A and B are shown apart, each in its own frame.
Chain A
Amino acid sequence: MQSTQAPETTDDTPMQIVAPDGRRVTSERNAPYRARLAGLDDDDLRGFYRDMMLVRRFDTEATALQRQGELALYAPLLGQEAAQIGSGRALSPQDMAFPSYREHGVAYTRGVELPHLLQLFRGVDHGGWDSEAHRFHLYTLVIGSHTLHATGYAMGVQRDGLVGTGDTTQDTAVIAYFGDGATSQGDVSEALGFAAVNNAPVVLFCQNNQWAISVPTSKQSRVPLYRRGHGFGVPSVRVDGNDVLACYAATTEALERARTGGGPTFIEAVTYRMGAHTTSDDPTRYRTSAEEDYWRDRDPIDRLRILLRTEGLWDDEAEAALAVEADALGERVRTYVRGLGRPAASSMFDHVYATENSLVTEDRTWFADYEASFTDQGGAR
């Protein structure tokens, strides 16, 4: 099977399919990408909207839970719904995603139960989901390191002969998500290098949300981020990250190239982190309300709502039904989080190694004896 050619991409203006006012954009630039939407029907479009609304509701709920002291920390995705749902919905079941720590929307598209993501933030688990079953790896807190894991995984896929077979249920791609700040990490450059020389079936998906905590993208790079790929010989494209259809189309194109043997792609999705970096952050210290207003007018969810309504695919009744669904999700998140118990202290000794290890055994035994000494004296702890 022929691998797809990368469209010419030296255009700094983000590729767009839907403008902020909900109008569809028709241009020569987006023509190859518009063709990628041919397979979507009205239900798919409504589905994108529903997905974005639900993850936003999840986000609101999680932020509130942190404020109520139920979570130690939370990293909101507010504003990045289109980038995550658009790219996540482009993945095939067999594809593998490597997230950083804000990819709740992508997790949702991979079938991860949203409330389970909060085990990490509540401090009961380092990764509360089966990453193999969901084809969605654990969150990664060391910036950029997982872009190499994704590339290595893709090299494994390649060795397994699951690239370019022509069977779309077999051919597999890998995607790694990271931020604009991450592009300054050596690991991301090393990932681009390894991906390029190995022609690895991996998509490096950068969500440029303008800020790495308090540092703007202009202090990470003198050139638009997507151009990083060019130096490595990796086809690279800049898309409007608040345009779910543009994100879907660009990712579909890149994943198909990866699966058919065309190698890696770098995607820069230009978006905006509307909330704080994490619940511990105070964005008023480093950015203006004018900037926030500018981006509020470019809200990724509003533009799809307008499009759906303009095209007669959405009405008040549908909106009300979705609100009910969102409320139910909110309720589910709250109940789940509050119901999470405390792991047994002895569980800290589990899974340090895959094999028994005398150092861990020693500590586990000591701790058990220590704990037992309290019970022996009749005192419970």
Chain B
Amino acid sequence: MTVAVSILPEQQLAVLNAAYRQAVARRRWRLLFGAVVFAAALCLAAIGAEVNLRTLFAHYGNFISYFDRILTLDSGQRVWTDVGEWLWGWRKWLRMLGETLLISYVGTLIGATFAFCLNFLAAENTSPAPWLRFTMRRLLEFARTVPGIVFALIFVIAFGLGPMAGVLAIAIHSTGALGKLFSEIVENADMKPVEGVRSTGASWLSCMRFAILPQVTAGYASYALLRFEINVREASVMGFVGAGGIGQELVVAIRKFYYSDVSAILLTIIVTVFIIDISTGWLRGRLFGKEART
């Protein structure tokens, strides 16, 4: 066996080189083609979305000055020079925030309960009948594709203004989103315990209870906590359509140009979201250890 690098004869080398160049060229062409298609789509989208750079350049000052304005008190001072004046409505806002949190909590819990009841029917490995699985999946898909705020708009008309519409909207959306995630966890579960339980003559329900449930509970709780986090954000805007929570205050402040109130309410929302993020992260870590974090 020779260890020297053998150099191919010219002719063979030329053929290989040509093939290499051709392969590279084809990839480049494909990349270029993709870039051109993407750019064309962007241009088309820019026309469709009525992008007007002139407006943006004429008004970008507005964006900066908007933040300037919301950080200025009526007296013309910066907000942080007089915190008492800035956060004058903190009692009311904290109450609204509490309502927001309660809306997302109740909505998440109801949604998670429904998702919990339905997900076994939607999972590939545990569903008792194919037609049931099909309907369940379409139902969950519908519940999560229609945005929560659209449900809220409809529910506000059916149930009247107030947090009830917001809770139900969040509950339905959470059912759809969690149902899918839950059934995916079930699909990843080990089926041997199920066979074990079934071999003792147990019913379908007992199989779920004693074979599947112990495997999946931690995953369920982890996803439900994550959903709670997302729902807090969603509940903060439910008020825009009259479905309760802090959003109601915020939209009034924005529409009526109460500038310093806007920044104060935004601040409370951001701080709340931070606190929720951090505490659910901590809770997940406590309950399931690091590896269960999603």
**Does chain A bind chain B?**
no
- Where the two chains meet, the residues of B that have a C-beta atom closer than 8 Å to any C-beta of A are none
- Where the two chains meet, the residues of A that have a C-beta atom closer than 8 Å to any C-beta of B are none
